[in-house]
Chains A and B, each alone.
Chain A
């Protein structure tokens, strides 16, 4: 993937919480228009990586580059203005605001940043087309949506940034099987529209199915990486991460 434009580059990243060091020098490349997935067991550092990239925690060392600009250690809102959208673990929608307001807020960094503002109203309509269930509930308060609908809202809100890169952290967590399938269909759809994504998923097999490239995190270090189909057939990856999960 060296010939592609690198959208997000993580180089030798160290990060953690207080005295607990979680990431020990990881490097990840995400090229434009590609979907890259991070696989690993609990506590390996997947969510920590996402948080360090979007500025929710400050890395202790290393570089993160978004579309050519260094972003490590910047405030989250600033990174968002540069075009990085984060759909966080556990959804975190604005519960007391309507679906439409949640989505419009997703575009807020476009209005205040230096990137092109674009057509927010048009994008809102497009996002609602992409997520028909949200369209039906556009005036409903986000807190009254079911878990699956909230997850879709979190993803749609991220897309409203017109982002250079979207971070999707556990989009299928806590969802009924029928909705898990739906979430993966939406990821496919976003991919076909050229959205660049970094994906963390409990269903590793399904994640590798939709991704172009994958990294395996073990105790805060990258142990294996390679094209997704190759990882999917790697016996050691299969044994450690793919067995037993729901497949699609």
Chain B
């Protein structure tokens, strides 16, 4: 973080800690305390919603599990504060793992329904399990003691503030580590995650578990804060509010979580009373008009674009003076404001501020400048061990319904060679790639890599055993930078666990530094060094293909599968591509190349196999294949180069 940011953070924390001293009114202290507790939960929810891109409507349920774990431990066993907090985190994390199970099978609206059901079931269980939870009567408890001293309202506030800051640091560190990159990669492209050795299965569960841990911590603090918990608190409305808070504040942002928490706690209060509402609506209208005038002057927005927000905010202010009481209108106005924010600020408030003029997102820090490489390039050399045959596919049959996409295909790939795989569109080349990397399980036949069978292994296991690939239709992690994309490929170089990441142990620092250096080196190798911090989705198509190769090389593969690397490249780019594929081969890495550009295939490959309608129709040296009658008829045509 930049120094100014550090300073700002320190000032913020000090202001937070001084707040109860300056403001004596316990009502306001409790309000801010609630905001902080919600913020802790939202940090966790943002991991699931913002980073892995899953929808969870079960977080109110998890919040309730945390609250009741603490509550039950305190009233039944008289557990001390620390025990209650740690137990709440642990128990809720287990429930998080349960909540993750449906996420492994379904996504989108289906997942929303399942997690919603989870939340409802938790609420019902709390209500019904009288013997444990006191049922609808709820649980009363007192402010806890710490080190033999009973905390008062103000001291408990400080405890929550300290835990908020700690949560913030831990979440921030996790999300900026290899774990956070793995979560984000799941959202960008699950299939590419698996093929980079980042098991989608494991990291989805991991994300839910960590997320639930924070929900548990927040829930237990909430129980102490309110001093009374009942099943009705953890209802559907709360879960929707949590989700709204993440969206309105801005996903993938800790500040966004805090802003979101503030909105969902304060907005209903501001609407309680007509006087306050008048102030707020007039302030909002002034703010919108000022932004519009400023924006139009700078030429960033047109009057037409801003018409609706301006008219809307003025109408809201007008309404506030026309109304005499709030009670009948409160919920409607709350709803309208929500709708307005979600519609106009789709990236949330933080996203809006970042994109606003003169408040551009700060450039990523220069911690990576001057990545030094000890001689040569960053591509790891693959040791030529074992037999000369690196991959053997025997009688592979891949059947989709009645269609035989691969019909009894056998391939033998020699170590250290470039093996071409060509054939008409739809002949089964990409299907073969998917069989080799475990995305498809073949209907029959065997595939062995370095003497071990890979049939039945998961994609991520196969990737970790040394087969890396690129994709015909580029599968990058779009919202991540070029550097981060390659770092996902380097996931396998990390041994650090959650604790290492949270406290930044020397091991984690060492691994993290090494990964950045390697990634920079690999970007340099494919010629993308000047685009290191550009988001992958903003790169032109050809550069995206190069980035995929860099990411695949990060796996330190023995075998690299390239699926149409030259598609969409112009002649000079292709020359460059040829030269660095040769360099890759010179590192002892075996390459299987699917390509339609015959000049590429013919100039580089040692052996070429030709597929047509799922069957191998020819195989041999490039020149021989090129002259083969069947190949000319099916694939090359009369005019091939």
Binding site for B on A (CB under 8 A): 17-20, 39-43, 47, 89-90, 146-149, 170, 173-181, 202, 204, 240-248
Contact = CB atoms under 8 A, between A and B. Distances in A.
Interface range on chain B (Cβ under 8 Å from partner): 35 or more
B385 interface: no
B540 A43 contact: yes
Given A174-B425, A246-B641, 19 more contacts: A40-B570, A41-B573, A43-B539, A43-B540, A146-B424, A146-B425, A173-B567, A174-B472, A175-B596, A176-B422, A176-B423, A176-B425, A176-B596, A176-B635, A178-B637, A181-B639, A243-B572, A245-B599, A246-B599
Contacts of B422: 176
A177 B635 contact: yes
Nearest to B568: A173
Contact of B425 (A42, A148, A170, A241): A148
B510 to A, nearest CB: 34
Given A41-B572, A42-B570, A202-B569, A18 B538 contact: yes
A69 to B, nearest CB: 19
B425 A147 contact: yes
Contact of B571 (A17, A180, A244, A248): A244
B240 interface: no
Nearest to B531: A43
B575 interface: yes
Contacts of A149: 425
B636 interface: yes
Given A174-B596, A202-B570, A244-B575, A19 B360 contact: yes
Interface of B: 360, 422-426, 472-473, 534, 538-543, 564, 567-575, 596-599, 634-641
A47 B424 contact: no
6 contacts: A20-B534, A41-B572, A42-B569, A147-B425, A148-B426, A202-B568
B614 to A, nearest CB: 12
Contact of B542 (A43, A181, A240): A43
B571 A242 contact: yes
Given A89-B568, A204-B571, A177 B425 contact: no
Contacts of A40: 570
Given A43-B540, A146-B426, A177 B598 contact: yes
A42 B543 contact: yes
A245 B571 contact: yes
Contacts, number: 103
A170 B570 CA distance: 11
Given A89-B541, A174-B567, A246 B640 contact: yes
Contact of B473 (A18, A47, A90, A180): A90
A202 B541 CA distance: 12
Contacts of B426: 146-148
Contacts of A90: 473
Nearest to A18: B538
A244 to B, nearest CB: 5
Contact of A47 (B541, B570, B575, B636): B541
A178 to B, nearest CB: 3
A170 B472 CA distance: 15
B542 A42 contact: yes
B538 A42 contact: no
Nearest to B422: A176
A180 B424 CA distance: 11
Nearest to A247: B641
A181 B639 CA distance: 7
A244 B602 CA distance: 12
Nearest to A246: B641
A31 B138 CA distance: 79
B571 A42 contact: no
B568 A179 contact: no
A17 B355 CA distance: 13
A236 B72 CA distance: 80
Contacts of A43: 539-540, 542-543
A42 B541 contact: yes
Nearest to B597: A246
Nearest to B575: A244
B573 A179 contact: no
A204 B573 CA distance: 12
A47 B534 CA distance: 18
A248 B573 contact: no
Contacts of A242: 571
Given A43-B543, A146-B426, A246-B598, A178 B572 contact: no
A176 to B, nearest CB: 5
Nearest to B302: A73
Contacts of B574: 244-245
Nearest to B564: A174
B538 A20 contact: yes
A172 to B, nearest CB: 9
A178 B571 contact: no
B541 A178 contact: no
A141 to B, nearest CB: 13
A20 B542 CA distance: 17
A170 B568 contact: yes
B9 to A, nearest CB: 26
Nearest to A179: B425
B572 to A, nearest CB: 6
Given A43-B543, A89-B541, A244-B571, A178 B424 contact: yes
Contacts of B360: 19
B617 to A, nearest CB: 13
A177 B572 CA distance: 19
Contacts of B564: 174
A174 B596 CA distance: 7
A78 to B, nearest CB: 15
A248 to B, nearest CB: 5
Contacts of B596: 174-177, 180
A179 B574 CA distance: 20
Nearest to B574: A244
Q: Which 10 A-B pairs rank lowest in CB-CB distance, beginning with the nearest?
A: A42-B542, A146-B426, A178-B637, A147-B425, A43-B540, A146-B425, A245-B571, A246-B641, A244-B571, A176-B424
A226 B567 CA distance: 27
A241 B572 contact: yes
A181 B637 CA distance: 8
Contact of B540 (A42, A147, A174, A179): A42
Nearest to B632: A178
Given A42-B543, A90-B473, A240 B572 contact: yes
Nearest to B546: A42
| Most chain B C-beta atoms within 10 Å of own C-beta, residue among A90, A173, A244 | A244
A146 B271 CA distance: 59
Contacts of B640: 177-178, 246
A200 to B, nearest CB: 10
A146 B425 CA distance: 6
| Most chain A C-beta atoms within 10 Å of own C-beta, residue among B539, B540, B564 | B540
Nearest to B638: A181
Contact of B635 (A17, A178, A202): A178
Given A20-B534, A42-B541, A241-B570, A178 B636 contact: yes
A181 B635 CA distance: 11
Contacts of B635: 176-178
Contacts of A89: 541, 568
B541 A244 contact: no
A244 B597 CA distance: 10
Contacts of A246: 597-599, 640-641
Nearest to A182: B637
A133 to B, nearest CB: 12
B637 A177 contact: yes
Contacts of A180: 596
Contacts of A178: 424, 634-637, 640
A227 B639 CA distance: 25
Given A42-B573, A90-B473, A174-B596, A17 B425 contact: no
Nearest to B636: A177
Given A174-B425, A178-B424, A241 B637 contact: no
